[in-house]
Amino acid sequence: MIIIENLRKTYNHKSKIAVDGISFSVNNGEILGLVGLNGAGKTTTINASCGVILPSGGRILIDDMEIVEEKAKASQEIGWVSENPNFEPNTKAIHLMLYYAGFYKIPRKEAFNRSMDLLRTVGLEEDAYRPASAYSQGMKKRFALASAMISNPRNLLLDEILNGLDPSGINLIKKLILEWKKQGKAILLSTHLLGVLENLADRVIIMHHGKIIKTLTNDEMKSLGSTGIRIRADHVDKSLEMLLSKYGTVRIDGQNVIVNGDLNEKDMENISSDISSHGYRISHLDLEKKSLEEYFLTLIGEAL
């Protein structure tokens, strides 16, 4: 479990605040998505949470241990994939795995077997004896994930984990993440694409300029992502709303009425004839598919 309380971070006296007093928690068995534009503060939040950088204020508890005060203990149950993984030059991947395993006092034989298993899992078995610093971008991400899992930690902080991965890699990692969720791990995922988190995250936190501007549940996200029908009629009243509510959720937006739901072309025809027969004149009717990304941008636009 990861608990973040009022986290603040300013990199140096010249730069503006990167993370501005945010609080949230990731429960065991939960996948939490952290979304935001470039520079929103996602990486800062993740890095501070796993003790790689020091916070300027606030508290971070990893399984109830404070990451700054009890660093060595709190780090025991952290698995971290950095945004741009970089590894020691000229050291073979398998040797790096063994080196990392040494921090957890894993016996050498077991460490070797576990390392090889993990490298196999992320598809790097054949590259185990190559220097990780010479891996491609996607391979580095895979290796970073393997190295994060060497101690099978209870909390995972994955920064842009799907970035730079090929489609099979994306599927693989999504599958692994869901599996780890089932095992009860707390998983914090960052991305700047909201869509990636559909069907994956239990909750999504949207960050902007170092602040949380919205928290969405999985269900809320689903409804956001659905298609809608936009209708412009000569007049909008309660009975029109009533009439349309059987097709989906209705939202009035000035002259426009928006019906959200699992709608298609056939529904559009039905709605069209339905309203006309009730005496409304339609000046505009179209099926619109509003993506999560559009929602996301609208939201941020509002925050500005």
Partner 1 sequence: MKQILHEIRRALLAKTTILMMIVIILIPALVAVTSISSVNYSDSVNAKGYAEGQNLTFTISVYVYSNAYGTPIFGETVNLSISGHNYSFTTDSAGYANTTLHSYNTSEIANSSYTYDQVPGESSTSLREGIIMLKPKGNPYFTCSKPIFDQNETLYSSRYTICPAQINNDPKLYGILVTYQPSNLSNFPNISMYYITDKKGILTSGGTGYTVYGPIDYLNNFTKELGGSNYNESEMKYFRTFKSQESMVISPVNLTTNTNTSDYIFEFFSSNGTEVGWIALNLSRTTSPNAVNSLFFKTELPMLSLFVPLLAMLSAFLVFGRDRVTGVLSTVVVRPISRRSVILSRYMASVGAVFVASLASLGLSSTLFHYLLGTYIPLSSILLSFWALAVMICGFSGLIFFASSIMNSIGKIIATVMLAFFFFDFFWTFYALPAIPIFVSTYLLNQNYGTLEYLRTQAILDYITPSGYINLITYLQQHNVYTIGLASYPVSEIYLTFPLVVAAGLLWIFLPLLASLVSFSRKD
Ligand X SMILES: Nc1ncnc2c1ncn2[C@@H]1O[C@H](COP(=O)(O)OP(=O)(O)OP(=O)(O)O)[C@@H](O)[C@H]1O
State the residues that interact with Mg ion by CB under 5 A. Answer: 42-43, 83
* Residue 227: CB minimum distance to partner 1, A: 42
Q: Which partner, partner 1, ligand X, Mg ion, none, binds residue 39 by CB below 5 to 8 Å per kind?
A: ligand X
Long-range contacts formed by 276-281: CB under 8 A, 24+ apart: 278/239, 278/240, 278/243, 280/233, 280/234, 280/235, 280/240, 281/233, 281/234
CA distance 145 to 142: 5
Tell me which of Mg ion, ligand X, partner 1, none is bound by residue 263, counting a contact when its beta carbon lies within the kind-specific cut-off of 5 to 8 angstroms.
none
- Regarding 303 and contact with partner 1 (CB under 8 A), the answer is no
Tell me the closest approach of the beta carbon of residue 39 to Mg ion, in angstroms. 8
Question: What are the helix and strand counts (H, E) for the chain?
Answer: 10, 14
The values of phi and psi at residue 120, to 5°, are -65, -45
**CB nearer to Mg ion: pick between 111 and 212:** 212
CB of 2 to ligand X, least distance (A): 17
Output the smallest distance, CB 122 to Mg ion, in A: 21
Site for partner 1 in 46-85 (CB under 8 A): 47, 50-54, 71-73, 75-76, 78, 80, 82, 84-85
Q: Cβ closer to partner 1: 51 or 248?
A: 51
Stretch that binds ligand X, among 41-49, 101-109, 114-122, 218-226 (CB under 6 A): 41-49
42 binds ligand X (CB under 6 A): yes
Between 133 and 163, whose beta carbon lies closer to ligand X? 163
41 binds ligand X (CB under 6 A): yes
Nearer to partner 1, 6 or 11 (CB): 11
Residue 187: CB partners within 8 Å, gap ≥ 6?
26, 30, 31, 32, 155, 156, 158, 177, 180, 181
CA dist 278 and 271 (Å) reads 11
Q: How many CB atoms within 10 Å of residue 226?
A: 14
Distance CA 73, CA 51 (A): 11
CA–chain centroid gap for 54, Å, is 22
Q: Where does this chain bind ligand X (CB under 6 A)?
A: 11, 15, 18, 36, 38-44, 83, 192
Q: Where does this chain bind partner 1 (CB under 8 A)?
A: 11, 47, 50-54, 71-73, 75-76, 78, 80, 82, 84-88, 90-91, 99-100, 102-104, 144, 147
